[in-house]
Amino acid sequence: VITESIAICRYFEELHPEPALFGTGALGKAKVEMWQRRLELNLMVSVAAAFRHIHPAMKEWEVPQIPEWGEANKPKVIEFLHLLDHELAQREFAAGDAYSVADITGMIAIDFMKPARIKVPAECTNVLRWYAALTSRPSATA
């Protein structure tokens, strides 16, 4: 039984290597891994902390629920979104010119920003463009 999301994705990529969601070639794979980790650790973790410590539906899951910790993570999210916005000015996708697992992680993190009561800043136009493109893909609603 495999129960961790990225491990499941890697398993399926080994069974069905095309299209490659974990990059191609040594440099491509390294860039996907780098951006996957950045989006996971610098965006998703902070969004999750805000969501788990602020949203009333998480009260039974996050014990103790500490609203101050949730609020303290919101600026971390915004700071990373500005960094990501700068990066996305140079390319279409998080890790380069191809859609990857890093984009999926980023899209899900931004999806969770709504219940975490965080908005993408209006000036992050590249992040907003990227997110709109990702959510318009048929796989985003699967």
Domains of the chain: 5-141 (1.20.1050.10)
Task: Compute the 3-state secondary structure of the chain and give helix, strand, coil in percent, each to the nearest 5.
Answer: 65, 0, 30
Q: Give the pLDDT band (50/70/90) at residue 142.
A: confident
**Phi, psi of 115, deg, nearest 5:** -70, -20
Residue range 77-123, pLDDT digits in tens: 999 999 999 999 999 999 999 999 999 999 999 999 999 999 999 99
Residue range 12-46, pLDDT digits in tens: 999 999 999 999 999 999 999 999 999 999 999 99
pTM: 0.94
DSSP code, position 141: G
